[in-house]
Structure 1
Amino acid sequence: MTRFPDEIGELAARVIYEFSAGGLMVVTAESCTGGLIAGALTEIAGSSAVVDRGFVTYSNEAKQEMIGVKAETLAAHGAVSKETALEMAAGALAKSRADLSVAVTGIAGPGGGTAEKPVGLVHLAACRKDGRSQHLEMRFGEIGRDEVRVATIRVALDLLLELAQAE
């Protein structure tokens, strides 16, 4: 069993409970978190009724091949961008049976950052089958690789809950 901070476990349990009650399924598309969002969700009993699948698309090739991110998007905006996160979320949703998706792409560090895209920059996106989507840009700073990833999981779970409740 993976040990997530209590707050992550509580948020994941809330997602599983609320999605199960609403008959909703979720799909994840993860880069910088490497499947940890899906992992947090599947730690919760009853998650099989809610979690359809998860895509770990760490490389640009995986983003393109698995969930249909366009090469032009990656060339124009880079892997860590609003545009890529939104295409990841839309692509994961299209390649699943889920009602909602969440996607994350970022720079967890400790290296890999630039002045324009520093360590701690994460783009998150969520989509619904009805076409609504949401994007967040987070700048967590150089708080450490694990801390960036945990903070990203927290925001992703909150984003799923928020979009699920949107009417």
Structure 2
Amino acid sequence: MRQKKVPGLSFLLVLGCKVNGERPSKALKDRVLTAAEYLRENPETRAVLSGGQGRGEEISEAECMRRLLIREGISEERLILEEHSTTTLENLTFSQCFLNRERDEVGLVTSNFHVYRSMYIGKKTGYKKVYGIGAPARTVLLLHYMVRECFALLREFFR
């Protein structure tokens, strides 16, 4: 699911994904490059980089994203790190302290197969003006991720 980019958003909320040591996974790199493109086109937009540190990760997902965005030419002053979340629900919940869910227009940057569930959780947790920005997914694993997302979405409906 790839949605049309809305220009001039207050914030991007970039959802974390696996880091291998200190290097981004392909999915995380795709999310960050999608965010970098948007941030270059919208110089007033800031980004909340959301993701903690899991097993096998030498740095947090947020720190990994920060490093890559800086390499992509995005000013560090535009980047806010949320380094404690380990799930999509936590990404959206813990990032609330950096923005106003009621007022700010927020673009959720995640893999295209993950946009629908992320938007569902975002609205469920009180985000009023939220837009999905889907990064391209690798086609080799797309079926696997789509099936996984279906089960995860069912779990969200019953939460």
**If the TM-score is normalised by the length of the shorter chain, which range does it land in?**
0.3 to 0.5
TM-score, normalised to structure 2's length?
A: 0.39
Report which structure shows greater RCO (CA 8 Å, sep ≥6).
Answer: 2
